[in-house]
Amino acid sequence: MGGANSLVGVDALAAELAGPRPPRLLDVRWPVPWPAGHVTAGPGPADPAAYRAGHLPGAVFVDLDADLAAPPAGGSRGRHPLPDAHAFTAAMRRLGVGAGPVVVYDDGPGFAAARAWWCLRFFGHEDVRVLDGGIAAWRAAGRSTETGEAPLPPPGDFTADPGHLPMLDARGAAAQARLGLLLDARVAERYRGESAADPVRGHIPGAVSAPTFDSVGADGQWHPPTFLRTRFAILGAEGEEVGVYCGSGVTAAHAALAMTVAGLPTPAVYVGSWSEWIADAARPVAIGSARG
């Protein structure tokens, strides 16, 4: 799926919902804190209360922690391990997902929605997009919402088939940092080791700081593909094999979507990310602004 087809605008989505083949809508409200100067939101976990207070008509709620991740299992696989194919199949079928189009959205920046996009694409769904600007853009355009719980749709027939997008484990991430380009999608303070957000501070040696917050504007809508492509070119991504990681594998999916929207190959995501990397004290850690 090309980058231009990975996002959908409010007006285009409204037209599709009124058409003969409306997409399945998945609400993935899972607030992510924004750095200073951006729209702010509370931290996760999933936010079903926000869904009940107002959602796109017919949308069903997706719990990122339960439906888009496996249990953390003590942290050795990170905070949001990839669910296995059986569990993901069951979750998506319960939400009514089949082979037809799917649109995912969140509060607007697209971090949680990108995790849903990435999981569906990784497991073989060929028609999934993120609503540009999320529910904030939908409301700003004067579109209607529903309250309460939408009834679950009839069960879908989606079957998860893993491996349709590239993925890294810890060994692969280390090799990517040495031999190619590994982007760290966290805010720069966490990359440099200046933030107390992580129990172990720093970054994977050789990784390049590339905060994925820079891919969206303060209103939560994505920057144009030309802007994104220039940004990734400055980071050295054009013509390189690229991997990306973050704190727990959520904002890494956002960075993967950003590169896809830019028209670049979708990078390999290190799903375990920093939370898995630091679970093994033998793995090296770099501090400061240099790649290490």
Answer yes or no: is pLDDT of 75 > 90: no
pLDDT of 41 reads 36
C-alpha 270 chain-centroid distance: 12
Phi, psi of 168 (to 5 degrees): -115, 150
Q: What is the mean pLDDT of residues 29-57?
A: 69
Q: Which residues are catalytic?
A: 246
H or E element, residue 134 = helix 134-140
Sign of the torsion angle spanned by Cα atoms 218, 202, 269, 177: positive
pLDDT of 40 reads 34
Counts for the chain of helices (H) and strands (E), in that order: 11, 10
Answer yes or no: is pLDDT of 34 > 80: no
Answer yes or no: is pLDDT of 1 > 60: no
pLDDT of 45 reads 64
pLDDT in tens, 219-261: 999 999 999 999 999 999 998 999 999 999 999 999 999 999 9
More confident residue, 36 or 243: 243
Q: What is the mean pLDDT of residues 169-192?
A: 96
pLDDT of 59 reads 97
Least confident window among 34-43, 50-59, 107-116, 141-150: 34-43
**Which domains, ranges and CATH numbers included, belong to the chain?**
3-140 (3.40.250.10), 167-277 (3.40.250.10)
pLDDT of 197 reads 87
Task: Give the pLDDT band of residue 42 (cuts 50, 70, 90).
Answer: very low
Q: What is the mean pLDDT of residues 162-171?
A: 98
pLDDT of 37 reads 41
Round to whole Å and give the CA distance between 12 and 18.
10
Task: Give the pLDDT band of residue 32 (cuts 50, 70, 90).
Answer: low
Q: Determine how many CB atoms are found less than 10 A away from the CB of residue 259.
A: 25
The mean predicted confidence, pLDDT, of the chain is: 92
Answer yes or no: is pLDDT of 96 > 60: yes
Q: What percent of the chain has pLDDT over 90?
A: 83
Task: Give the pLDDT band of residue 74 (cuts 50, 70, 90).
Answer: confident
Answer yes or no: is pLDDT of 106 > 90: yes
From the list 75, 51, 53, 70, the residue with the least C-alpha distance to 62 is: 51
pLDDT in tens, 4-24: 589 999 999 999 999 999 999
pLDDT in tens, 128-139: 999 999 999 999
